[in-house]
Amino acid sequence: MVNSTRTSYFTLAAYCDTGIFRYLLFMIVMLFYVLIICSNLLLIVVICMNRSLHEPMYMFLCSLFVNELFGSSGLFPFLLLQILSDIHTVPASFCFLQIYCLYTYANVQFCNLSIMSYDRYLAICRPLQYNTRMTSQKVSMLIALVWLYPFIEVAVMVALSAPLQLCGNIIHKVYCDNFSIIKLACSDTTVNNIYGLVYTFTIIVGVLTLIFYSYLKILIICFSGSKQTRQKAVSTCTPHLVSLLNFSFGCFFETRFDMTNVPNVVQIILLLYFSLLQPLLNPIMYGLQMSKLRNTYKHYVRFWKDVFVD
């Protein structure tokens, strides 16, 4: 008979001994983390300070950048500490807190991207109705929903996982993962599995349905519309599509594959791809692609340059 217990800590088994190279890895990850914080925070400040950017599209972008800061802060400080540590154990309470932060970040990201696709659909396919459909009250309600719903849904998921009796405490990843904890359970996980199906359906299927519907309508308009309409669609939708595909690819590999037999180095590379590229890609891509955001940023740079020079 297998002994089951409610463990007080977990061991993260995917870390490998990199010797003196751990300090190089630490500095690289730290550099990227600082770049993520600075780039996302800069664009949040630019959007909030300029009233001409208080439009639905930029409000959704601001929500996206805030979420990048939230997700990065839920992972990178812990990751940096583990890189320098020789003992890769984490208290169970902190492990579930990290699960909550990372899963919430991923779900807010998907919900935010789906609302942005709907916003682009209205702007391109229903331009005359855009201002009446995307009022400030509706934008505020959508942003609140984007954040509130994942926070509640993930809280229920963690509340169901935390009391489980476990037959082990080894997680074969470099961060805490709810799916890995479910696999360690000796007690009945029927409720967890049912909730997992509902959770997946409401977040993934619901989000994908809205995105596919929005872009199907946009494609129809592009094929039947003028050259100017097609150019507008390409310029406004390209950053969103790139962000969506990149994030979906990273989530797919990080959450749906058994990483037990994958080399530790490969796991770390996949984690860095999933956690670094998205929060770095978004502010650079949107900042360069959207002329209004880019011009506002240049204006503030010139303003502060003149202040310091004078």
Map out the domains of the chain with their CATH numbers. Answer: 9-309 (1.20.1070.10)
pLDDT for position 217: 82
- Please state the pTM of the whole predicted model: 0.84
CA 29, 33, 35, 39 torsion-angle sign: positive
Beta-bridged to residue 307, according to DSSP, are: none
Q: For residues 109 and 288, which has the higher predicted lDDT (pLDDT)?
A: 109
What is the pLDDT at residue 1? 39
Q: Which of 4-18, 129-143, 161-175 has the highest mean pLDDT?
A: 129-143
CA 4 – CA 165 distance, rounded (Å): 5
In this predicted structure, which of 68-72, 133-137, 162-166, 215-219 has the lowest mean pLDDT? 215-219
Mean pLDDT on 20-25: 82
Helices (H), the chain: 21-49, 56-84, 92-125, 130-133, 136-161, 178-184, 190-200, 206-224, 227-255, 264-272, 278-289, 291-309
Tell me what pLDDT residue 55 has.
Answer: 87
| Tokens coding 135 | 């009022």
Task: Please tell me which residue, 5 or 34, carries the higher pLDDT value.
Answer: 34
Say what percent of the chain tops pLDDT 70. 78
Angle 28-98-7 (CA atoms, 0-180°, nearest 5)?
120
More confident of the two residues 66 and 50:
66
Cα–Cα distance, 31 to 37 (Å, whole number): 10
**If you search the block for the tokens 């208080």, which residue do you land on?**
54
